[in-house]
């Protein structure tokens, strides 16, 4: 399968970031969202607003405490969802947190980096997802 290339996106006129579109499936069906590709994040963490859009009662997920960049911990509620990056579908562990404070969703390594080789090119301002054979 051919690699999927995504241009970096500028939020609020700031420095371009590796933010990509993806789809998640909840009780209300498939919903497109955006997430920052974070190679330093163990788990994907999304806002509770995304959980509501998907029709997910996020608090029913497995509670897990995650240490964030400033050393504090936030609660994350993990769910197993169907996900799509472009035309590639897979199952992903997605966490939702009421205390996600970065202003955007995070796409972490668990299940995503196991399904794709991910290459960042800051000089070209693109991120490339190369699907791996199942």
Model confidence over 3-45: pLDDT tens digits? 999 999 998 778 999 999 999 999 999 999 999 999 999 999 9
pLDDT of residue 1: 80
The band of 101, judged by pLDDT with boundaries at 50, 70 and 90, is confident
Max CA distance (Å), the chain: 42
Among residues 105, 117, 128, 122, the alpha carbon closest in space to that of 45 is found at 105
Among residues 88, 86, 28, the alpha carbon closest in space to that of 53 is found at 28
The torsion angle over the Cα atoms of residues 9, 88, 118 and 8, rounded to 10 degrees, is -10
CATH of 21-131, one of 3.40.50.11540, 2.40.70.10, 3.20.20.70, 3.30.2130.10: 2.40.70.10
The band of 97, judged by pLDDT with boundaries at 50, 70 and 90, is very high
> Any bridge partners for residue 6, and if so which?
127
Better-scored residue on pLDDT, 71 or 63: 63
């Amino acid at each position: 399968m051919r690699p999927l290339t995504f241009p970096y996106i500028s939020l609020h006129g700031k420095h371009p970031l590796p933010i990509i579109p993806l789809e998640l499936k909840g009780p209300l069906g498939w919903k497109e969202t955006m997430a920052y590709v974070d190679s330093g994040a163990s788990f994907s963490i999304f806002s509770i607003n995304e959980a509501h859009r998907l029709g997910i009662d996020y608090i029913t997920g497995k509670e897990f405490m995650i240490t964030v960049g400033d050393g504090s911990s936030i609660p994350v509620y993990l769910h197993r969802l169907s996900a799509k990056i472009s035309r590639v579908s897979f199952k992903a562990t997605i966490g939702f947190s009421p205390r996600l404070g970065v202003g955007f969703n995070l796409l972490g390594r668990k299940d995503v980096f196991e399904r794709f080789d991910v290459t960042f090119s800051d000089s070209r301002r693109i991120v490339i997802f190369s699907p791996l054979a199942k």
